[in-house]
Amino acid sequence: MNEEHQLKNELARTFRKVVKEMSYLWSRHIDKSLSMAQFMVLRQLRGGPKKVSDLAEALELTSGAITAKADKLVEKGYAKRYRGEDDRRVVYLEITERGLSELRQLGEQQTELVESLFAGLSEEEIREHLRFFSRMLNNMEHLGEE
């Protein structure tokens, strides 16, 4: 196996571990009752009510997955669900005041966590990470278009 292939394999393993650890840190340090995916749904709802189908598309999840997350958010009082007036088949989800409050609190905790993850990095290292993450996001957007 050549060195470039080994390097790419190590990068893939490390990336998977980072994603797994972020999920673990979220549940341990930020919120034990609200998953990262539920947090992402609430963030999408900040801009106003959204159709479940639009949330699914924005978060690249199935409508069924969004429905399951929505059920838990509604149960906890963070969101409310209602049907469209023109078309009763269309289901909307809207954030509640309680959900906005929780979102603000979790956002602050998330910021603290991210700051602690990047503690000790120089300004240049942070800029390097920003360039890397920007390129990675650009690659992801292109993959999503295919």
Q: What is the pLDDT at residue 31?
A: 65
Length of the chain: 146
pLDDT tens for the 146 residues of the chain, in order: 689 889 889 988 988 898 888 878 877 777 667 888 898 899 999 999 999 989 999 988 898 999 999 999 999 999 999 988 888 888 899 999 999 999 998 888 888 888 888 899 999 999 998 998 899 888 888 887 76
Sign of CA pseudo-dihedral 43, 46, 47, 50: positive
Q: What is the pLDDT at residue 12?
A: 87
The radius of gyration of the chain from alpha carbons, rounded to an integer in Å, stands at: 18
Within 1-146, residue ranges assigned H as helices are 3-25, 36-45, 52-59, 63-75, 97-117, 123-145
Q: What is the pLDDT at residue 55?
A: 93
Q: What is the pLDDT at residue 131?
A: 93
Q: Are 36 and 23 in contact (CB under 8 A)?
A: yes
Q: Are 65 and 56 in contact (CB under 8 A)?
A: yes
